[in-house]
Structure 1
Amino acid sequence: MIDYTPLYAGIQHTPELRPWLTTLPQQVADGLSPARWGDLAAWRQVLDALPPITPSSVEVAGEVRIGCADDATPEQLAELEAQLHRLHPWRKGPWSLFDIFIDTEWRSDWKWDRVAPHLHDLNNRLVLDVGCGSGYHCWRQYGAGARRVIGIDPSAKFVAQFYALKKYIGMDKPVDVLPLGIEALPAGLQAFDTTLSMGVLYHRRSPLDHLRELKDTLRPGGQLLLETLVIEGKLGECLVPEGRYAKMRNVWFFPTTATLESWLRKTGFVEVKTVDLDRTTLEEQRRTDWMRFESLVDFLDPEDHSKTIEGHPAPLRATLTATAP
């Protein structure tokens, strides 16, 4: 059921992306290697076991809503919900699938409402979503008019979750999630009209290299939307946690917005602007029946939610836009 043949055919007819075809199929095969993902066979079994239900309607332009309960039998709905739970944890969403509400850890719809007003008109644009998870924002971008959306995320489980949903949204839709990191894209591709990187920069050991990689994905005049954790402070200031941050191991740089704007200009972007600053709340990121592990409340100082459990400033997320020259 994980089938990228339509994507490869679409890329063949997309001159900007065609050079990627020389490496992409092997990269995907490596990203979905059973040797790398011991649970991959179980995730594929989930996809094979999903009941055949035809949705009466599909909505991705607003909230993501696929069909309704009347489209299926009670037995099909019970089987569908059981199989979807086998793909736990569900991080990004929410999703409504035949009135089964997948209440994900993150209210990604809230983030979309914050960032979408700052995107250029997506109508007929070629979009790249870096670190896309299971593809929630990819569908919202497609719903906003994008002609093709490619999401990349190294996690094969996110790919399985994406295909569990695409089965019902429509396998023919030009929206794909690839099991890759940004380093898999050809250098200097300069193909995309819009590139989004949300929740990725602080996981990169070299933030300037990541910004250069993002610029390389964009055609001249293309738009970057960057969302990441920041700290309050002045130009030149940056937090580099020596240990963990909010219990996360793989975190590196938390600049101020002024510092981050400077980094973007230094890597060659123009028209750099901070467009949103938002403190993550316990309502936006929390434990649910679909994500039963620790969440934000467990990452903050129980006596002072303005600090992480390690004593760092609590998560503050900035959204910036910039243009490739």
Structure 2
Amino acid sequence: MSNFDWKTCFGRLLTELDNTGQSSWADSVRSQLTHRFDDNPHGDLGRWQSALDNLPDISGITSELNTSAITLGSAGSLSSNQQQALERGLRGLMPWRKGPFDFFGTHIDTEWRSDWKWDRVSPYLSDLAGRRILDVGCGSGYHCWRMLGEGAERVIGIDPGLLFMFQFLSLKRYLGEVPVDLLPIRMEDLPEGLEAFDTTFSMGVLYHRRSPLDHLLELKGTLRLGGELVLETLIVDGPEGFSLMPEDRYGQMRNVWFLPSCDTLLRWLDRTGFRNARVVDVSETSTDEQRSTDWMRFNSLKDFLDPADPTKTIEGYPGPKRATIIAEKP
């Protein structure tokens, strides 16, 4: 049995869902979390919980959510013993892939510069103030915190990775009862036709789906009428109708299925009932944006590119290029 107390961790969110007409979703989440943590606990849960418990108790914390690194407190505000306990706990939650974060002067240089993606996307978003937001495939929740910093009323991130959840909880431990939660569930675990969100983000997910149109329909189902979809995914150059389906791996990733051209992606959105879809950014992913660090010591992008031609993956496909598309549910 795990010593992770999910009923306390998610109690406030589940009560909120019960009280806002989403009791059927709340019951579904309770069942999913019971299966995940009570019936079939992950073997590393105890280690991750121990790392979280090792973080020192600190009161009177300031935070900054609108800077490149999500920042808690300030450097020099902890005692030597507190600083050492903090770093031990945070390193017990390695590898850190999405960020960066700064805990009281301990800077977590994550594999991905997720702030760069936010800087590319955020100028094109509707005002997030007062909006209810779903972040699909949110990783450790970096963008969820940026959404809260922009004034979102409620943010729910979903990602099945339990290590991501514990990394998220390491921040929430210090930020307290803020309206942001990360549920360790999959997109397909959400009820159909939820229609509960003003904005839904799906960034870095579509190419992992065997059926990309079904994913778009699932995303559409999460949105209220007039809601906004923010979609970011790998793409390739090509005409409308063209998409790349890797023979096996793409950039050493096994679970990459379809990389469409931008025009193909716009057609997919039109066919699944979205309107006013527009490409707001296309960027090549560089080894400055995704790389190994002291907080993520495994192979990263440079190891997945052709050493003789870094414009191609190690398998010979076009190197990673990402597009961001914004569309509305009519």
Which interval holds the TM-score relative to the shorter structure? Answer: over 0.9
Q: 1:237 aligns with which of 223, 238, 242?
A: 242
Matching residue of 2:126: 120
Aligned in 2, Cα 1:313/1:32: closer, same or farther, shift over 3 Å? farther
Alignment of 1:1-325 (within 5 A): 3-15=9-21, 17-33=22-38, 35-63=40-68, 64-170=70-176, 172-325=177-330
Structure 1 residue 303: deviation in Å?
1.1
Q: Distance in 2 between matches of 1:258 and 1:36?
A: 43
Q: Distance in 2 between matches of 1:102 and 1:289?
A: 9
Answer yes or no: is the 8 Å Cα contact 2:98–2:113 preserved in 1: yes
Q: Distance in 1 between matches of 2:242 and 2:38?
A: 41
- Corresponding pairs, count: 323
What letter is aligned with 2:269? L
Answer yes or no: is the 8 Å Cα contact 2:61–2:174 preserved in 1: no
Q: Distance in 2 between matches of 1:70 and 1:217?
A: 43
What letter is aligned with 1:275? V
What letter is aligned with 1:51? P
Q: Distance in 2 between matches of 1:36 and 1:78?
A: 29
Give the superposed CA RMSD. Answer: 1.3
- Which digits, 9 at most, give the CA deviation of each residue in 1:301-323, with x for residues without a partner? 01111100000000000000110
Q: What runs of 5+ residues in structure 2 fail to find an aligned partner?
A: none
Q: Distance in 2 between matches of 1:71 and 1:9?
A: 35
Counterpart secondary structure, 2:76: helix
Deviates more, 1:49-58 or 1:293-302: 49-58
Counterpart secondary structure, 1:23: helix
Answer yes or no: is the 8 Å Cα contact 2:53–2:89 preserved in 1: no
Counterpart secondary structure, 2:283: strand
Structure 1 residue 90: deviation in Å?
0.2
- Which digits, 9 at most, give the CA deviation of each residue in 1:241-277, with x for residues without a partner? 0110000011100000000000011011111111100
Per the normalisation by structure 2, the TM-score is 0.95
Answer yes or no: is the 8 Å Cα contact 2:133–2:198 preserved in 1: yes
Which 4+ residue blocks in structure 1 deviate beyond 6 angstroms?
A: none
Answer yes or no: is the 8 Å Cα contact 2:54–2:88 preserved in 1: no
Identical positions, percent: 54
- Which digits, 9 at most, give the CA deviation of each residue in 1:51-109, with x for residues without a partner? 11225411112331100133311111111111111111100000000010000000000
Aligned in 2, Cα 1:279/1:224: closer, same or farther, shift over 3 Å? same
Per the normalisation by structure 1, the TM-score is 0.97
What letter is aligned with 1:192? F
Q: Distance in 2 between matches of 1:30 and 1:155?
A: 15
Answer yes or no: is the 8 Å Cα contact 2:223–2:329 preserved in 1: yes
Q: Distance in 2 between matches of 1:286 and 1:62?
A: 21
Answer yes or no: is the 8 Å Cα contact 1:31–1:154 preserved in 2: no
Q: Distance in 1 between matches of 2:81 and 2:60?
A: 16
Structure showing greater relative contact order (alpha-carbon pairs closer than 8 Å, 6 or more residues apart): 1
Deviates more, 1:20-29 or 1:242-251: 20-29
